[in-house]
Amino acid sequence: MKLRWKSCIIGGFVLLAGLLVSGGIWLKSSLNQPRESPEAERVLAAQAGLPFQVLIPAYLPRGLDREHVQIETGLPGPSGEAMIQLTYPARQGGTLVLSEWLPSTQDLIQSSCEAAGYGQPHVAGCRCLCSSHTQCDLSNFQVAVDNLRVQVQLSDPYLIGMQELQLILNTLGPAANQQMFSSPEDVPLSYSLPPAVEIPVNENGVQEFTLVVTPQGYSPVHFSLQKGVPARLTFRQLGQVGCGNELIFPWGSRQSAELILAAPADAQILEFTPVESGEFGFHCPHFIYQGVMVVQE
């Protein structure tokens, strides 16, 4: 009788453990399912009177409140254009403000040399506060998403880390998108990037390519290599790129190199063999410029 009772207790614990594991898997799966952001309906109503589609971030840190975002329309842009302003309050105080507008025709003509980037945000201007060579915080940051301009203003330059702010910008998309992320780990590295450019193998059996950084970002910003095949990267810059003259380039979980261009006409070469498949993000020291390399089996 006692043995049967003990067996029932053990069986109950096993069943309970199974239910907890199943419930955890179901909850994680449910959280990862695309879902409408709480501000989407209000943003869609506000954009009805604007000549452009309003963008909201798919990723916001947990400390920022989506539900109580303040939406203002009827504001003038830099040249008097119609502009919308989204003010996200931080639960510990402070705000993140996104101002969006469609530049005038003349401004678009002047910036026609900018790469469209398949909708990927690229730097249009920034004002940074740097406490050291590798630590930099933003108080004002402007990006271009196709023709739209988005300006980010922080009430406190230390409210959000540089990488988190870059994730916010990289996940900007239409309010109608049913997609939200609350953890940086949930955001795919190539979320907002164009399809990967496949680097060919030359007659010497080397995957040889040039990575160029411009004021608008890296080219190519997303590319793929074959695992186990030697590669040769030439790093160059075109135009004034600020901290973009320094490239931090990992090609494995424990393999990484730093390339520094001493002058605009300089070129740095890195020879390596990718031995680990996966996605690897490369960037400048301040994470203003970012790209992704994919290593395929």
The mean pLDDT of the chain is 80
* pLDDT tens-place string over residues 139-178: 677 788 878 899 888 888 888 887 788 788 888 888 887 6
Residue type, 10: I
Same domain (yes/no): 249, 165: no
Same domain (yes/no): 204, 284: yes
Are 262 and 194 a contacting pair, CB within 8 Å?
no
What number is the average pLDDT over the span 269-289?
92
As beta bridge partners, residue 272 has 231
In a domain, 279, yes or no: yes
pTM value is 0.61
Same domain (yes/no): 80, 153: yes
Q: What is the pLDDT of residue 4?
A: 54
DSSP 228: T
Return the top range by mean pLDDT from 24-38, 144-158, 185-199, 210-224. Answer: 210-224
Closest CA to 290 of 251, 252, 244: 244
For residue 209, the domain's CATH number is 2.60.40.420
DSSP 18: H
Return the top range by mean pLDDT from 111-120, 131-140, 188-197. Answer: 188-197
Counted domains in the chain: 2
Same domain (yes/no): 203, 94: no
For residue 152, the domain's CATH number is 3.30.200.100
Q: What is the pLDDT of residue 52?
A: 92
Same domain (yes/no): 142, 250: no
Q: What is the pLDDT of residue 108?
A: 46
Beta strand 231-237 with 207-214 is parallel
Q: What is the pLDDT of residue 26?
A: 40
Same domain (yes/no): 141, 48: yes
What number is the average pLDDT over the span 47-70?
91
Residues 287, 244: Cα–Cα separation, whole Å: 9
In a domain, 89, yes or no: yes
Q: Domain of residue 284: give its range.
A: 197-296
In a domain, 161, yes or no: yes
* pLDDT tens-place string over residues 216-242: 889 999 999 999 999 999 999 998 888
Same domain (yes/no): 118, 140: yes
Q: Which residues contact 208 (CB under 8 A, 6 or more apart)?
A: 199, 202, 231, 232, 234
Q: Which residues contact 196 (CB under 8 A, 6 or more apart)?
A: 190, 222, 223, 224, 292, 294
Last residue within a domain, chosen from 156, 183, 210? 183
Strands (E), the chain: 55-57, 70-76, 82-89, 95-101, 122-130, 136-145, 148-154, 172-174, 197-198, 207-214, 217-219, 222-226, 231-237, 246-250, 256-260, 268-272, 278-283, 290-296
Same domain (yes/no): 93, 139: yes
* Per-residue exposure over 16-27, b if at least 16 CB sit within 10 Å of its own CB, e if not: eeeeeeeeeeee
Same domain (yes/no): 282, 160: no
How close are the terminal C-alpha atoms of the chain, in Å? 58
Q: In sequence order, what DSSP letters do the residues of 105-131 get, joined into one string?
A: HHHHHHTTTS--GGG--EEEEEEEEES
In a domain, 64, yes or no: yes
Same domain (yes/no): 154, 217: no
In a domain, 3, yes or no: no
Residues 218, 289: Cα–Cα separation, whole Å: 7
